[in-house]
Structures are given as structure tokens and as C-alpha cells.
């Protein structure tokens, strides 16, 4: 019988899913994927098959008001489509694995308890990731689940890259730099040998530019540093998160504006970044389409910050051989890629404009000292692979 793996990426208002199938000993293949968006407001379900053909596109009723009810709705659709299929397991994207989880892991009650302690470090994602695991455990008690972490790929970085330079006693219980978007970087690292063999062996900066945004410095496909740190607030300007800010500003919010910790958390995770600067939108498409000076400043800052951090990671790597763009903005906005490449021309990037408009994959001229690329990411495939591998091992042992 074919093996199926369900991959879930549960967020605060969306539930993304992918169904992978493995026939006999073949590789994992995408069977379908989709999402429920607007959970709690205007829920909407969409699904496509592995080739991109539309399977479903519909508004859902108000009963889809939270994560568990969204999962119930998804389960009903899956049952109608795949009744009788053998589900090997469910793989989850979990944003924070802390210091303890340096690799994907099969979820047990103990693992879940550990991961709950990390909720304050990723309040925008972790509670929803874990709620999905709990909801599946209740609904499918016999089906094993695997947690795949956005932090794991970065473990093994040099010690200096992990330092948070505060007193030792403050840092004792895991206050260190972790890095995020690791599932995306792991996917890019997995395809580099085929797509860009020279870069796979060399020094690459990968720019994951989506709602959340970060850079990863890779040497020989391994992470040596990244722009996100202890939480997913550091580094680049993001949709609603500021990226790096002077910590004195945070003190000011507490001491002078007398804001509560909850208010500061909301400002940092939901009201800053592109949305904060522009006062218009957190969506890069809206900002690129706007003539408002504040929208322009937000885009200018996004590019400025990206170029500045690319320079910093180039210093870490002692120069770079290539720059890779991925995720929503990185894959789809030729304008942002162009502006970041132009701001990074001093590194030796010579952009090929037509290739950039066509989304590459290679977007630098053949003589360019540093190559530039667009590579669509695929975090779900990485989760499916890890889930299949870990659960296959359990099966082999049983
Ligand atoms: P996430 O998975 O973190 O929600 P994505 O990687 O899907 O984020 O990226 C989402 C962002 O990508 C959107 O906020 C939007 O700003 C941006 N985006 C998508 N398409 C385009 C485009 N054609 N031009 C510019 N930005 C785009």
C-alpha cells in the first residue's frame, strides 16, 4: 500500500497543508497542497494537486473559528479524497526547537512539554504549531507525529555566532542566538549541488524574504551564521517585525511610555517593520504599488537593511561566491531583487536584468564574480522527508 504523510504548518490565522505520497521505495511526491486562510474571520479553503491543478477553492462557514475547527474541516476534506489511505505520520513545522532539539524529533508528551516552554520565544508561531500537534493527537491517537524545527539547521554554528553578549547568569538557561527559517535553508542547501555546484562547495548567502525575512551565511551548505537570533525579531526588516533595533528603544517603551510587556510584544511582532514604517500595509505588493512617501521609505528601508546585513554576512564568510533569493518576496519581486543586487554590486554581483525578470534561476551575468539566483523554497518537502525517515526508522525497528 502507498504511504502518505501529512505535513502541517499551522499559524495564527492559517493552516497550510501538503499531502505527500511514496509508492514502494520511490521518493516522496507531492499529491496535493493547500490552506485554510482567514481562520476566525473569513475562512477560505483552497487546494491544488501536485501539478498545480485546482482541486478546491471555496469560502467556509463561520464554524471554522480556530485551529482545531480548521483541522476538523481539513480532515473531512482529506477523508473524502483519500479514504482508506495509510497515513504514515504527520509532520509539523515547529518554529523553535531551543538548544535541545538540534534535529527533527518524534513528538512525545515530554517533547511537547519542552516545546511549550519556548512559547515566549516565538509567540507568533509556536503556540499555533503546538496546538495543531495536540489537536492531531486527540483526533488520530495512533498516528505518530514529527516536529521539524526552524532552528535545527543552524545548530553547529561556530560559538561566536551563537553568543548573546549579556551576563553569563542571564544567558545560562538558553539565551543564545538560534536562527530561524532553517527548513527553508535546508531545502536550498539540498538543491544547490544540482543547481549551482560551485556555490554548493563555496560561500553562499541565502536571503529568505517573506512575511518573515532572514539571511543565512552558508559555507559548504552548512549554516555558519544567520540574521535572526534568540527570537525571530532580529536582523532584516519584516512584514510586521522590525528586525534589529537598538535595545535602548525597548527600554524607552517600558520606562518612558510605560507600556506593558504584552503591549511591547504586540508592537514588536505585529505592528512594526513594513507595516510600522509605512502605516499602510505589511504586504510588499501594496507598498511597491503605492506612491505614498511612507510606503517608499518602508521599501527603501527593507532594501537598505537587506544590503547592510548581506555586507555583514559577507564579512563573516570572508567574501561570497553567490547570493540566493527565496520565499514570497525573494521569489516573486524582480524589483526588490534588482535593488538588493544593485546595492550589493560592490561584492561583485552583476545582475542580468532579463533573467531577473524571468525569475532565473540564475540571474547574474555569466562573467559575474559573484553569482545570483532565484530558487523557490520548499519547506514542506523537507518536513515530509524527515517525517518519512524518522517514522520509517520506527517502523523498521518495530
Ligand atoms: P509566509 O510564508 O511567511 O507567510 P511568504 O514567503 O509567502 O510568507 O511571503 C509573503 C510575502 O511575499 C507577502 O507578504 C508579500 O509581501 C510578498 N509577495 C508575494 N508575491 C509578491 C510579489 N509579486 N511582489 C512582491 N512581493 C510579493
Question: Which atom in ligand 1 lies closest to the alpha carbon of residue 327?
Answer: 6
What pLDDT is recorded for position 134? 95
> Residue 371 corresponds to which cell in the numbers above?
553569482
97 close to ligand 1 (CB < 6 Angstrom)? no
User: Quick one: cell of 140?
Assistant: 488520530
Q: Give the mean pLDDT of 83-103.
A: 91
Given this model, what pLDDT does residue 16 score?
94
Q: Is 286 a catalytic residue?
A: no
**362 phi/psi in degrees, rounded to 5:** -90, 130
Positive or negative CA dihedral for 271, 273, 277, 282? negative
| CB of 9 closer than 6 angstroms to any ligand 1 atom | no
Least confident segment among 39-43, 226-230, 267-271, 350-354: 39-43
Ligand 1 geometric centre to CA of 18 (Å): 19
Q: Is the pLDDT of residue 258 over 60?
A: yes
Does residue 3 surpass a pLDDT of 90? no
Q: Are 371 and 78 in contact (CB under 8 A)?
A: no
Residue 392: band (very low, low, confident or very high) from pLDDT cuts 50, 70, 90: confident
Find the 366 Cα to ligand 1 centroid distance in Å.
Answer: 29
Q: In 3-state terms, the chain is what percent helix, strand and coil (to 5)? A: 40, 20, 35
For residues 40-64, give the mean pLDDT.
93
Alpha carbons 247 and 324: distance in angstroms, whole number: 30
Output 252 or 139, whichever has higher pLDDT. Answer: 252
Distance 15 CA to ligand 1 centre (A): 16
Return mean pLDDT, the chain. Answer: 94
Q: Does the beta carbon of 334 lie inside 6 Å of ligand 1?
A: no
Nearest residue to 232 via CA among 96, 134, 369, 136? 96
What's the pLDDT at 396? 55
Cβ of 333 below 6 Å from ligand 1: yes
pLDDT interval class at 23 (50, 70, 90): confident
Mean pLDDT calculated for residue range 318-347: 98
Query: Quick one: average pLDDT of 284-305?
Result: 98
- Residue 310 confidence (pLDDT) above 90: yes
CA distance 237 to 234: 8
Residue 167 CB: number of other CB atoms within 10 A?
8
Mean pLDDT of 52-62: 93
pLDDT for the residue 28: 82
Of the residues 49, 114, 150, 350, only one is catalytic, namely 150
- The mean pLDDT of 200-211, rounded to a whole number, is 97
Q: Give me the pLDDT at residue 394, please.
A: 62
Mean pLDDT of 208-234: 97
Percent of the chain surpassing pLDDT 90: 84
- In the block, cell 531583487 appears at 337
Residue 79's pLDDT band, with cuts at 50, 70 and 90, is confident
Helical (H) or strand (E) element with 206 = strand 203-209
Q: Are 334 and 359 in contact (CB under 8 A)?
A: yes
What does the pLDDT read at residue 397? Answer: 57
Residue 288 predicted with pLDDT over 60: yes
How many A from CA of 363 to the centre of ligand 1? Answer: 19
pLDDT value at position 37? 92
Q: Which of 284, 306, 377 to mutate to test the pocket of ligand 1 (most atoms within 8 A of CB)?
A: 284
pLDDT score of 398: 52
| Ligand 1 proximity of 239 Cβ (cutoff 6 Å) | yes
283 lines ligand 1 (CB under 6 A): yes
Q: What is the pTM of this model?
A: 0.94
Amino acid at each position: 500500500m502507498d504511504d502518505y504523510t501529512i505535513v502541517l504548518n499551522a499559524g495564527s490565522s492559517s493552516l497550510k497543508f501538503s499531502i505527500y505520497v511514496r509508492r514502494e521505495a520511490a521518493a516522496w511526491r507531492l499529491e496535493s497542497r493547500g490552506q485554510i486562510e482567514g481562520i476566525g474571520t473569513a475562512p477560505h479553503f483552497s487546494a491544488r494537486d501536485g501539478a498545480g491543478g485546482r482541486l478546491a477553492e471555496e469560502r467556509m462557514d463561520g464554524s471554522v473559528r480556530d485551529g482545531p475547527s480548521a483541522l476538523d474541516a481539513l480532515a473531512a476534506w482529506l477523508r473524502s479524497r483519500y479514504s482508506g489511505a495509510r497515513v504514515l505520520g504527520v509532520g509539523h513545522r515547529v518554529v523553535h526547537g531551543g538548544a535541545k532539539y538540534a534535529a527533527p524529533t518524534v513528538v512525545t508528551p515530554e517533547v511537547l512539554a519542552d516545546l511549550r516552554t519556548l512559547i515566549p520565544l516565538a509567540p507568533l508561531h509556536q503556540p499555533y504549531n503546538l496546538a495543531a500537534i495536540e489537536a492531531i493527537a486527540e483526533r488520530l491517537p495512533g498516528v505518530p507525529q514529527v516536529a521539524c524545527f526552524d532552528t535545527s539547521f543552524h545548530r553547529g554554528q561556530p560559538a561566536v555566532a551563537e553568543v548573546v553578549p549579556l551576563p553569563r547568569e542571564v544567558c545560562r538557561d538558553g539565551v543564545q542566538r538560534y536562527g530561524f527559517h532553517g527548513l527553508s535553508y535546508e531545502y536550498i542547501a539540498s538543491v544547490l549541488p544540482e543547481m549551482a555546484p560551485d556555490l554548493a562547495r563555496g560561500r553562499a548567502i541565502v536571503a529568505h524574504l517573506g512575511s518573515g525575512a532572514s539571511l543565512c551565511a552558508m559555507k559548504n551548505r552548512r549554516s555558519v551564521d544567520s540574521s535572526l537570533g534568540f527570537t525571530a525579531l532580529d536582523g532584516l526588516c519584516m512584514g510586521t517585525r522590525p528586525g534589529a533595533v537598538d535595545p535602548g528603544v525597548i527600554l524607552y517603551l517600558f520606562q518612558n511610555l510605560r507600556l506593558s510587556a504584552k503591549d511591547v510584544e504586540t508592537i514588536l511582532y505585529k505592528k512594526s517593520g513594513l507595516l510600522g514604517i509605512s502605516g499602510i500595509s505589511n504586504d510588499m505588493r501594496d507598498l511597491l504599488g503605492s506612491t505614498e512617501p511612507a510606503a517608499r521609505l518602508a521599501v527603501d528601508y527593507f532594501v537598505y537593511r537587506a544590503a547592510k546585513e548581506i555586507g555583514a554576512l559577507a564579512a563573516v564568510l570572508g567574501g561570497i561566491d553567490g547570493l540566493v533569493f527565496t520565499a514570497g518576496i525573494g521569489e516573486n519581486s524582480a524589483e526588490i531583487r534588482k535593488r538588493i543586487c544593485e546595492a550589493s554590486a560592490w561584492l561583485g554581483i552583476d545582475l542580468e536584468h532579463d533573467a531577473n525578470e524571468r525569475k532565473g534561476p540564475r540571474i547574474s551575468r555569466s562573467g559575474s564574480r559573484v553569482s545570483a539566483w532565484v530558487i523557490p523554497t520548499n519547506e514542506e518537502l523537507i518536513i515530509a522527508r524527515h517525517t518519512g525517515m524518522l517514522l520509517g526508522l520506527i517502523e523498521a525497528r518495530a
